[in-house]
């Protein structure tokens, strides 16, 4: 497969997010603290990029805009983050496609398993769908600043898996609240166990789940692989996500 260098697109997405916000934040008349939550682990490359973005916003606004980061799921799973953004207790989030699906279900179309054969295919589809998806998300009260990916999702299991029936025999983690994913897995005769991603480590430890899907980098940084040491050589899907800001917060950032 012809795959783009890992991390190239996420970096471009975050740089774009900063550039988009520069003009508005520089003109902000009052000080503003943007509370941004994400599942990305603290200290990871994704977290460091968010820190760089936060510093850029602060510099561009002359110190008027401060971004306070809540990494590693400390503010809850993606559905919790979306709910808190709606309530106003959080202002922004780096959400997975599953989390974006909490805002509008149409985003789930990006995560169809085994639909893509390369990074070029992923972003070819995303680039064509972006305007429509972002319009639907905007209609729900959120502004998309930039899209990124976390890499190809592979299955990690507590028992060796050589064929689909081996995986069907295991209790497979699925995102809590993502009913479409659960229905898809059940239709394929898998055994999904819906859980918040923040409870995945505990689920593996207690035996509530025996397998999960994640990019290898995420499994390594979050230490999930310690409880599921077998990895399939199969790119199941691309972990896509985006930075979103509540419309009320964006209106404070932008003079328009």
* Statement to judge: residues 158 and 206 lie in one domain: yes
* Statement to judge: residues 53 and 113 lie in one domain: yes
* Statement to judge: residues 167 and 188 lie in one domain: yes
Contact yes or no for 108/97 (Cβ under 8 A)? yes
Question: Using H for helix, E for strand and C for coil, what is the string for 34-63?
Answer: EEEEECCCCCCHHHHHHHHHHHHHHHHCCC
What is the C-alpha to C-alpha distance for residues 95 and 175, in angstroms, rounded to an integer? Answer: 13
| Helix intervals (H) in 118-207 | 119-139, 164-168, 179-187, 200-206
The structural domain count of the chain equals 2
* Statement to judge: residues 180 and 129 lie in one domain: no
* Statement to judge: residues 216 and 140 lie in one domain: no
* Statement to judge: residues 161 and 59 lie in one domain: no
Return per-residue pLDDT of the chain as tens, 256 residues: 334 444 445 555 555 555 555 455 555 557 899 999 999 888 888 888 889 888 888 888 888 889 999 999 999 999 999 999 999 999 999 999 889 999 999 998 898 889 999 999 999 999 999 999 999 999 999 999 888 888 999 999 999 999 999 999 999 999 988 888 899 899 999 999 999 998 999 999 999 999 999 999 889 988 898 999 999 999 999 999 999 999 999 988 765 5
* Statement to judge: residues 197 and 230 lie in one domain: yes
Domain enclosing residue 116, as ranges? 8-150+240-253
* Statement to judge: residues 215 and 249 lie in one domain: no
Dihedral of the alpha carbons of 126, 91, 33, 254, in degrees to the nearest 10: 60
* Statement to judge: residues 78 and 120 lie in one domain: yes
* Statement to judge: residues 78 and 163 lie in one domain: no
């Amino acid at each position: 497969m012809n795959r783009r260098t890992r991390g190239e697109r996420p970096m471009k997405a975050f740089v774009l997010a900063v550039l988009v916000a520069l003009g508005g934040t520089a003109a902000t008349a009052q000080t503003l603290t943007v509370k941004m939550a994400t599942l990305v682990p603290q200290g990871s490359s994704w977290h460091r990029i968010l820190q760089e973005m936060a510093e850029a916003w602060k510099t561009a606004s002359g110190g008027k805009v401060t971004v306070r980061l809540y990494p590693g799921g400390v503010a809850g799973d993606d559905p919790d983050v979306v709910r808190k953004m709606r309530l106003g207790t959080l202002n922004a989030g780096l959400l997975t496609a599953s989390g974006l699906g909490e805002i509008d279900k149409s985003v789930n179309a990006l995560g169809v398993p085994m639909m893509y054969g390369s990074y070029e295919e992923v972003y070819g589809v995303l680039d064509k769908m972006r305007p429509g998806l972002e319009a639907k998300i905007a209609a729900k009260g959120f502004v998309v600043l930039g899209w990124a990916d976390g890499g190809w999702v592979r299955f990690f299991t507590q028992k060796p898996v050589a064929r689909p029936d081996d995986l069907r025999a295991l209790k497979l983690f699925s995102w809590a609240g993502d009913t479409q994913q659960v229905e898809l897995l059940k239709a394929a005769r898998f055994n999904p166990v819906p859980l918040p991603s923040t409870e995945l480590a505990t689920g593996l430890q207690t035996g509530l789940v025996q397998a999960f899907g994640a990019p290898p980098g995420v499994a390594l940084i979050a230490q999930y692989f310690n409880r599921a040491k077998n990895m399939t050589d199969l790119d199941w899907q691309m972990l896509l996500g985006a930075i979103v800001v509540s419309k009320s917060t964006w209106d404070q950032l932008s003079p328009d």
